[in-house]
Chains A and B, each alone.
Chain A
């Protein structure tokens, strides 16, 4: 399957700081990338859909000013958690899709801990 990477794999930050997470599709051009959040022992919740060159589409209840998404190229999308608080601590996972009706390939995830 296709390879999607995320960086960093784990980050610990202080409350009030901002954290940027990168998602890269390494062997294909991703027309669309998705960002998910997963709480311990729970399922994945879609946060937003990111299309290259356009603004991200956020799911209901997700603050777009809190979770900034940039999809600057066909291989890179970034999620910035602004002014992070302890309740933002979670496992963030991205996925990439090459085209319509294609399979989503997932990154390995980023564990964010906000102190």
Chain B
């Protein structure tokens, strides 16, 4: 079975500060890992994904995430927060294509203070 844990349901940073959103996963098969962003009353937009290639994955809007197998983590980072980054962020894991099903974490609401 697969699962995702996102530590911190709310994270607040100042504009220009480092963004770090934590995600730990559990998977019995080599995982595919994803970060999605959701703005209010909208669907999800893919930020980046890990599919067993490079462990450091770069995504859109300056975000990146590093797959660390030893720590079963896939934390999302951005060096400098922008006001437009304020949104809900979801980490998700899938079985790599067997079913294509995504298991989502509970989400982290990022607030960016001016």
Contact = CB atoms under 8 A, between A and B. Distances in A.
A71 B24 CA distance: 34
A109 B49 CA distance: 22
* Most chain A beta-carbon contacts within 10 A, residue among B34, B90, B102, B107: B102
A108 B43 contact: yes
Given A42-B106, A43-B105, A101-B32, A109 B42 contact: yes
Interface residues of B, number: 23
Contacts of B102: 34, 44, 46, 95, 104
A101 B43 contact: no
B49 A49 contact: no
A21 interface: no
A103 B41 CA distance: 22
A46 B49 contact: no
* Most chain A beta-carbon contacts within 10 A, residue among B36, B90, B100: B100
A93 interface: yes
Interface in B44-58: 44-46, 49, 51
A111 interface: yes
Given A42-B106, A43-B106, A101 B46 contact: no
27 contacts: A1-B45, A4-B43, A34-B102, A42-B107, A43-B107, A44-B44, A44-B102, A46-B101, A46-B102, A49-B100, A93-B43, A93-B44, A95-B102, A97-B100, A101-B32, A102-B100, A103-B49, A104-B102, A105-B46, A106-B36, A106-B43, A106-B44, A107-B43, A108-B43, A109-B41, A109-B42, A109-B43
Given A34-B102, A93-B44, 19 more contacts: A1-B45, A1-B46, A4-B43, A32-B100, A34-B100, A42-B107, A43-B105, A44-B90, A44-B102, A93-B43, A101-B32, A102-B97, A102-B100, A103-B46, A103-B49, A104-B100, A105-B46, A107-B43, A109-B41
Interface of B: 32, 34, 36, 41-46, 49, 51, 90, 96-97, 99-107
